[in-house]
A and B are shown apart, each in its own frame.
Chain A
Amino acid sequence: MRRTSIVFGFLAAGTAMLALAALHARIAAAPERARMARSAALVRAVGLTDLALFTEARFTRNPALADLQTAFQDAPMSFEHFPSGTFAPRPAAGFGRGELRFGPEEVAR
């Protein structure tokens, strides 16, 4: 048995496994779509806004609604300390809005 035969055999097996994984994903797609539709129906009926992935703190349980635009969470010295806080994105619009919402003539007045 040549070494290349063995190694190429392993590589072929690995490629086949990867193809099998892709096939598995394809087969699972339809039932998974149905499952997610049921979840979406629950979200609609209850009126949910967030994933319940991080239940350790208010701003991680509901990152979409949390007071992310305020500078401090609970106290001026309260730096980010919950582990899942590190996964949270910064607000989509950034922290400042960059405008005062006044017209120029109002500012002049």
Chain B
Amino acid sequence: MTSWLRRQRALAEYTLAALARRRIKNTGLLLIYAVVIFVVASATLFATALRKEAEVVLAGAPELIVQNLVMGRHDMISGEVIAEIDGIRGVAGIKGRLWGYFYDRLNGANYTLMVPLDPDMAPPEGQAIIGESLPRVRELPWETAPLFLSRYPGDLVRFDIAERLSSESALVSTDLILLNEADFRAFFELPENVYTDIALSIRNPREIDTIVEKIGRLLPNARLVTRDEIARTYQKLFSWREGIMVLLAGASVLAFVIFASEKASGLSAEETREIGILKAIGWDTGDVIAMKLWEGGLISFSAFLLGTVLAYLHVFAFDAGLFASVLKGWSVIYPDFALTPGIDGLQLTALFFLTVLPYVAATIVPIWRAATADPDQVMR
């Protein structure tokens, strides 16, 4: 056993000495490799944490949303519908939701104005509860500084700040301006008894399908969105098919594979000669291959460790700062959120095999022929 370990260590020692000969080239290779793994690992960790957050937090969303469609577009829904739906058995609660968007001409941000479903949460008249980003993008100078919104030139509506929502819920609330119903209707000049859509709570989740069918018959023009569908939307967000980050990372992985296979498989005449020498002085095929395994293993494992540890720091200590500009797109508001740190063992293992194995294989396969060649060719 000790002799086996010593042999492995001696082979690793040789590999390192051989790698150290082209220190800059091999360090560069290691760094590029680590960057590729860093990008892929960051994207995976980030998307997983975000999906987890959506899963847990949006579990509080309404079980069913009823939208009115007019000419294929989402339109206001009449309050009279509420009484009709309320008669359906299994519906535990029903409320009209009032929400809309407001484009702030001052800074180009889009806010979401909303009346809380829970009447206890609604602010008093003339006041608003604002999300975490508003003080930032509106540069509200002090804690209770009022918010002025201008719907058209010459118009100015004042809201005093009842509360600022904590940034711990930024991911769902960053752009919110919560008003009471009277203020909301006045601000958007809405008639009485119309709603943006209708939120249902349902006592028994198994009855959702039946209720959806009944509402479908009652309101053939309506579009119904269940909480399951909401959840699915977010489970698929950033899944491998959709994410452009993964696409970009895929492209860089591909470029790296080409680079690595060129480097690893383009077995130079020099290397072939060295393998011949090693065989001639008493190494057997197994020794040569073990030595090359060490080379591939050491480089790819180092890159894997470097990439994943940095990715963890990037996503959870630095709030995925490098992705922020990609995710922000053209938005003015970007939530200042922190994700729940988590490492998915399965994902990490998958990443390990997807990154380490191909490189090791690319190092080993071309060596096979050289390693099995007759050693006496170095004498000729």
A-B interaction = yes
Q: Which residues of A contact B279 (CB under 8 A)?
A: none
Q: Which residues of A contact B234 (CB under 8 A)?
A: 51, 64
| Contact (Cβ within 8 A) B237 A52 | no
Complex Cα distance, B57 from A37, in Å, reads 7
Give chain B nearest CB distance to A40 CB in angstroms: 4
The reply to whether the CB of A96 lies closer than 8 angstroms to some CB of chain B is no
Contact of B309 among A7, A14, A44, A56 (CB under 8 A): A14
> Most chain-A Cβ atoms within 10 A of its Cβ — which of B95, B242, B332?
B242
Contact of A4 among B12, B74, B173, B327 (CB under 8 A): B12
Q: A42-B172, A54-B327, A87-B242 are in contact. Are A64 and B308 (CB under 8 A)?
A: no
Complex Cα distance, B9 from A54, in Å, reads 52
Q: Which residue of the partner chain B has the closest CB to A56?
A: B331
Q: Which residues of B contact A28 (CB under 8 A)?
A: 340-341
Interface of A (DSSP majority class): helix
Complex Cα distance, B13 from A24, in Å, reads 34
The reply to whether the CB of A76 lies closer than 8 angstroms to some CB of chain B is no
| Contact (Cβ within 8 A) A47 B309 | no
Q: Which residues of B contact A88 (CB under 8 A)?
A: 237, 242
Range class of the A interface residue count: 35 or more
Q: A45-B118, A46-B118, A89-B236 are in contact. Are A65 and B67 (CB under 8 A)?
A: yes
Q: Which residues of A contact B334 (CB under 8 A)?
A: 55
| Contact (Cβ within 8 A) B65 A65 | yes
Q: Which residues of A contact B237 (CB under 8 A)?
A: 63, 87-89
The reply to whether the CB of B175 lies closer than 8 angstroms to some CB of chain A is yes
The reply to whether the CB of A100 lies closer than 8 angstroms to some CB of chain B is no
Q: Which residues of B contact A3 (CB under 8 A)?
A: 13, 16-17, 20
Q: A32-B341, A54-B329 are in contact. Are A11 and B168 (CB under 8 A)?
A: no
Q: Which residue of the partner chain B has the closest CB to A72?
A: B72
| Contact (Cβ within 8 A) B330 A82 | yes
Contact of A17 among B59, B72, B168, B309 (CB under 8 A): B309
Q: A32-B341, A46-B114 are in contact. Are A92 and B95 (CB under 8 A)?
A: no
| Contact (Cβ within 8 A) A63 B335 | no
| Contact (Cβ within 8 A) A22 B343 | yes
Complex Cα distance, B343 from A101, in Å, reads 46
| Contact (Cβ within 8 A) B171 A89 | no
Q: Which residue of the partner chain B has the closest CB to A32?
A: B340
Q: Which residues of B contact A47 (CB under 8 A)?
A: 61-62, 95, 97, 114, 116-118, 199
Complex Cα distance, B149 from A44, in Å, reads 27
Beyond contacts A45-B117, A50-B230, A52-B176: 20 other A-B pairs, Cβ-Cβ < 8 A, are A11-B301, A18-B305, A25-B316, A33-B340, A37-B56, A49-B230, A51-B58, A51-B171, A52-B171, A53-B50, A55-B334, A56-B330, A56-B331, A60-B329, A61-B110, A63-B233, A65-B225, A70-B72, A82-B330, A86-B244
**A-binding residues in B (CB < 8 A):** 9, 12-13, 16-17, 20, 50, 53-54, 56-62, 65, 67, 72-74, 95, 97, 101, 109-110, 112, 114, 116-118, 120-121, 131, 165-166, 168-176, 178, 197, 199, 223, 225, 229-230, 232-234, 236-239, 241-244, 298, 301-302, 305-306, 308-309, 312-313, 316, 326-327, 329-335, 340-343
